[in-house]
Amino acid sequence: MAKMRIDSKILLKLQEIFGDYQVGSEKNGRLYFRFGYWQHIDINLIKDLFPAYLSIEEFIVDEDDDTGIAYIYYVWDDRNNKKQWNKKKERDYKLFAWSIIGLVVSILYILLDKYIF
């Protein structure tokens, strides 16, 4: 997994827009942000602040009648997974293209077999 860097200007902008927040990390390399007391925020505002190569996802931690729904926001660098996905997608398209070519050649052989042989 690639190392993730977040500019301090982004962190200051988060505090300016959303107020107090906490940042934590997990073993898989993802960071999570908790704003206020687990408050819900507009995820599109966060996505606009972070670089486009970072993936951001809202996650509900808990739902309680007394405190309401508790939200955290995961941030991670998914560039390596996207590259692998694009390679797999490209491989699948090539396989499909060769299958179509094989089908066309087979049909042409069947149609032309009457006239050539």
Q: Which domain holds residue 103?
A: 79-117
pLDDT of residue 64: 78
Read off the pLDDT of residues 87-117 as tens digits, 9 standing for 90 and up.
667 777 788 888 888 899 888 888 887 776 6
Q: What is the pTM assigned to this prediction? A: 0.62
Whether residue 21 is predicted with pLDDT greater than 80 in this model: the reply is yes
Distance linking the first and last C-alpha atoms of the chain = 59
pLDDT of residue 15: 92
If one counts the domains in the chain, the total is: 2
Strand 68-77 to 54-64 pairing:
antiparallel
pLDDT of residue 83: 56
* Measured distance CA(13)–CA(47) in Å, rounded: 12
In a domain, 1, yes or no: no
In a domain, 21, yes or no: yes
Six token digits for residue 58? 């809202």
In a domain, 61, yes or no: yes
Q: Are 69 and 86 members of one domain?
A: no
Structural contact between residues 21 and 11, judged by C-beta atoms closer than 8 angstroms: no
In a domain, 55, yes or no: yes
In a domain, 3, yes or no: no
Query: Whole-number mean pLDDT of the chain?
Result: 82
Q: Are 95 and 113 members of one domain?
A: yes
Beta bridge partners of 59: 72
Read off the pLDDT of residues 75-87 as tens digits, 9 standing for 90 and up.
988 776 655 555 6
Q: Are 89 and 57 members of one domain?
A: no
Whether residue 28 is predicted with pLDDT greater than 60 in this model: the reply is yes
